[in-house]
Structure 1
Amino acid sequence: MVSVRGLSILAAILGVASVMPVSLCAESAGAASAIHKQVSLPRVLVLATGGTISGKADNRSAIGYDAGAVTGQQLIAGVPGVEKLARLQVEQISNIASQNMNSQIWFKLAERIRQAFANNEADAIVITHGTDTMEETAFFLDNVVGDAGPVILTGAMRPSTAISADGPANMYEAVKVAVDPQARGRGVLVVLNDEVQSARAVSKMHTTALQTFHSPNLGPAGYVDPSSVRFVAPAKPRLHLDLPADHKLPRVQIVYAHADMDAQQIDHAVQDGARGIVIAGMGDGNVSTDALAGIERATKAGVVVVRSTRVGSGFVNRDVEVDDDHYGLVASMDLNPQKARILLQLLLANKKTLAADIQKAFSAGF
């Protein structure tokens, strides 16, 4: 049998450009094809922040776990087939339980996202995040990062070491949505449990169920499974607000309404230097007569007050049971208290202080 080296020498003598065994040619061509396919895949930057998706089970209870025990790189390594969807680069922004999420990490995420798209480092971004504050992070980012490219948040309700952990499937589908052309121009999206939700609409609605994220007022933006991505709702207009240069958000307090409510918490918020107050009101954002008197004192002191609702769904309407025009209040529309707080913080940081201007921002898209 003639060796490969012998064939090469023979080819040189005969003046033949190349002589290679058929099997080696096929193997070389296959490798080249695989390399070309990998290089042509979309680039996805994964920003890991921790949460249950990065958690490990703990024996303190049947469902106990420690969040943020697994790195983003380890998480990606446990998702079969995701490497066929995109070229992944992983960065660890933080590794915390999401109840410890804070505005400084929000600023870090927002600036890294802007940088990645401005420098053409990625075609899309996926953020792994705990579920408790995921809707708040998504909504904050949706208002400040613009439409340079798709940004997807995903997480899990079960830790990575649990039986039937949901993290790998959620991660796979988040990447699948991120690289889908239909995801462009839709702002920040949340992908879990085969559903795609918009940042403005989505809320965590159950303490432990896998299907915990819903969009009670607007419905899901779309659906995803390992074979397809289907958007069922059109993209809506969104605000684009500047990040405060000093990385500080104004103090805005949430006051929860209840039976036998007085104005003490409202008065204390003003005394503590709050520039804004969000009322998690009863029903259509209602409060007691005593609390309303406290709200009037707050607005006269220059504090912006937004009426939201503690109810899980529905819009807060203007001038129904509360005379918003008289008291100078803002109706939160579809935004729950936690999202209303974030939007008010960003508006105040962008020098929006008049109730009428703030109301326009809350009503954007409706």
Structure 2
Amino acid sequence: MSQAPRSDANSSESAVLPQVALLGTGGTIAGVADTPLEQISYQAGVLSVECMLESLPGIEGVARIASRQCGNLPSEDMRPCHWAKLGRDCAQALDDEAMCGVVLTHGTDTLEESAFYLHLTMNSFKPVVLTGAMRPATSLSADGPINIRDAVAVAASPQARGRGALIVMNGRIISARTAVKAGTLDVEAFRALESGLLGRVINGRPVFYHSGEDGPALAGTYAVHAGKDNLPRVDVLYACAGMPLDAALFSLERSSGLVVAGMGNGSMPSDVRKALDQAVKAGKPVVRASRTGGAPVTDLEEYASFIASGMLSTPKARVLLMLALAEAGRQGAHSPEALVASVRRAFMHCREV
């Protein structure tokens, strides 16, 4: 990793500052548009993390920065193989005893999925903080620089330790377990709709609302699968009026499990429900989530064979199902009943903590 430059006059003072790894992966935060007023049409994943640091005067007063470019792509192109690489890159940085935490710049479209994957697989007391931007770096009111600065402050804070993966944007500190993208254009794009914020960054200083001494729910649960890029395929089906049955059958033939973004409390057309019910009996887990963006999705008698996603968003339910399937295979749950039961336990555990 390369060190961000600092003046000799400040070198003795900064030597006592905490050290934070800043890993760049692309996204809008590294995006470039044709004009300063353009905030919608731009090319994501252009600028390097070193270039972004140049727009952060004073960052050397927050922490010593060890920066590295780990990729540069729009987050809609993120795949599970990229999650695995992010896990390996974060683990490598956290293994450095001098490093107190990691900040990962990431596109916002799939940020909640990458963050939840890291939350479930990173087995470290040190914080992993993800941040991004809703406006490109060339925007007249770019939000990327302050988001990076706030994320570094959180990663450097002793109060951030032991909380699992975090998302810091627009001054909000949110658990990766509960954060969802709830806006398409606003800088306040991420929210924790049911649980609320963990804290805020106020005038550059992280303020947490509770001590977090009980430890972060689910953090590191699937550490044994960290960095592995061969997770089982899980498809997402979007339920709607007139939903075609053949779309469900297509995914059933090719995936190891399904998540249905159901209507309301996870409902779906009866012909689709019957087909998926047969698939569950054959050992293919199906999780009911909701297309509403709200929660929770609860157990229903007519969907008894399905697994309710609880408070998890559809994308998060998919991440958990992929890891739960991988763990079921590792533990030798090969029979249809054992496989589905193992996955069901994982989701029940998620709903209880």
Relative to the length of structure 2, the TM-score reads: 0.88
Q: 1:281 — aligned with what?
A: 262
Q: 1 or 2 for the larger relative contact order (CA 8 Å, sep ≥6)?
A: 2
Amino acid at match of 2:294: S
CA distance in 1, matches of 2:227, 2:148: 33
Q: 2:58 — aligned with what?
A: 81
Amino acid at match of 1:271: E
Aligned partner (choices 103, 107, 111) of residue 130 of structure 1:
107
Report if aligned partners of 1:267, 1:298 keep a CA contact under 8 Å in 2.
Answer: no
Partner of 1:351, secondary structure, is helix
Aligned partner (choices 143, 151, 162) of residue 120 of structure 2:
143
CA distance in 1, matches of 2:8, 2:59: 20
CA distance in 2, matches of 1:40, 1:62: 39
* CA deviation profile, 1:40-96 (whole Å, cap 9, x unmatched): 111111110001111111369663211111100110121121110111011111011
CA distance in 2, matches of 1:357, 1:133: 27
Report if aligned partners of 1:56, 1:65 keep a CA contact under 8 Å in 2.
Answer: yes
Q: Deviation at 1:339?
A: 1.0
CA distance in 1, matches of 2:174, 2:194: 11
Partner of 2:70, secondary structure, is strand
Query: Structure 1 residues 62, 128: CA separation in 2 closer, same or farther (over 3 Å shift)?
Result: closer
Aligned partner (choices 1, 5, 14) of residue 38 of structure 1:
14
Instruction: Please tell me whether Structure 1 or Structure 2 has the larger radius of gyration of its CA atoms.
Output: 1
Q: 2:136 — aligned with what?
A: 159
CA distance in 2, matches of 1:245, 1:224: 31
Aligned partner (choices 295, 300, 311) of residue 292 of structure 2:
311
Q: 1:359 — aligned with what?
A: 344
Q: Deviation at 1:121?
A: 4.8
Q: Deviation at 1:288?
A: 1.6
CA distance in 2, matches of 1:310, 1:152: 27
CA distance in 1, matches of 2:285, 2:98: 40
Kindly report the root-mean-square deviation, in angstroms, between the aligned alpha carbons of the 2 structures: 2.0
Which stretch of structure 1 is more off in the superposition, 105-114 or 190-199? 105-114
The aligned runs of 1:234-249 (5 Å cut-off) are 234=212, 235-239=215-219, 240-241=221-222, 242-243=224-225, 247-249=229-231
Aligned partner (choices 144, 154, 162) of residue 185 of structure 1:
162
Query: Structure 1 residues 119, 169: CA separation in 2 closer, same or farther (over 3 Å shift)?
Result: closer
Which stretch of structure 1 is more off in the superposition, 183-192 or 103-112? 103-112
Q: Deviation at 1:260?
A: 2.1
Between the two proteins, what is the percent identity of the paired residues?
37
The aligned runs of 1:226-305 (5 Å cut-off) are 226-233=203-210, 234=212, 235-239=215-219, 240-241=221-222, 242-243=224-225, 247-272=229-254, 274-305=255-286
Partner of 1:66, secondary structure, is coil
Q: Deviation at 1:356?
A: 3.3
Q: 2:3 — aligned with what?
A: none
- Unaligned segments of structure 1, at least 5 residues: 1-30
Which stretch of structure 1 is more off in the superposition, 36-45 or 236-245? 236-245
CA distance in 1, matches of 2:227, 2:123: 17
Q: Deviation at 1:225?
A: 2.4
Partner of 1:307, secondary structure, is strand
The aligned runs of 1:57-96 (5 Å cut-off) are 57-58=33-34, 63-96=40-73
Partner of 2:137, secondary structure, is coil
Aligned partner (choices 19, 25, 48) of residue 49 of structure 1:
25
* CA deviation profile, 1:232-268 (whole Å, cap 9, x unmatched): 2545421420226752111111011011234322211
Q: 1:9 — aligned with what?
A: none
Q: 1:14 — aligned with what?
A: none
Q: Deviation at 1:342?
A: 0.8
Which stretch of structure 1 is more off in the superposition, 354-363 or 55-64? 55-64
* CA deviation profile, 1:291-316 (whole Å, cap 9, x unmatched): 11111121123211111111111111
Query: Structure 1 residues 148, 185: CA separation in 2 closer, same or farther (over 3 Å shift)?
Result: closer
Q: 1:6 — aligned with what?
A: none
Relative to the length of structure 1, the TM-score reads: 0.85
Q: Deviation at 1:206?
A: 1.1
CA distance in 2, matches of 1:276, 1:188: 26
- Unaligned segments of structure 2, at least 5 residues: 1-6, 334-338
Partner of 1:96, secondary structure, is coil
Q: 1:105 — aligned with what?
A: 82
CA distance in 2, matches of 1:331, 1:285: 8
* CA deviation profile, 1:272-327 (whole Å, cap 9, x unmatched): 2x11000101111111211111111211232111111111111111135x332xx2
Q: Deviation at 1:32?
A: 8.6
Aligned partner (choices 319, 337, 348) of residue 325 of structure 2:
348
**Alignment: residue pair count:** 331
Report if aligned partners of 1:129, 1:154 keep a CA contact under 8 Å in 2.
Answer: yes
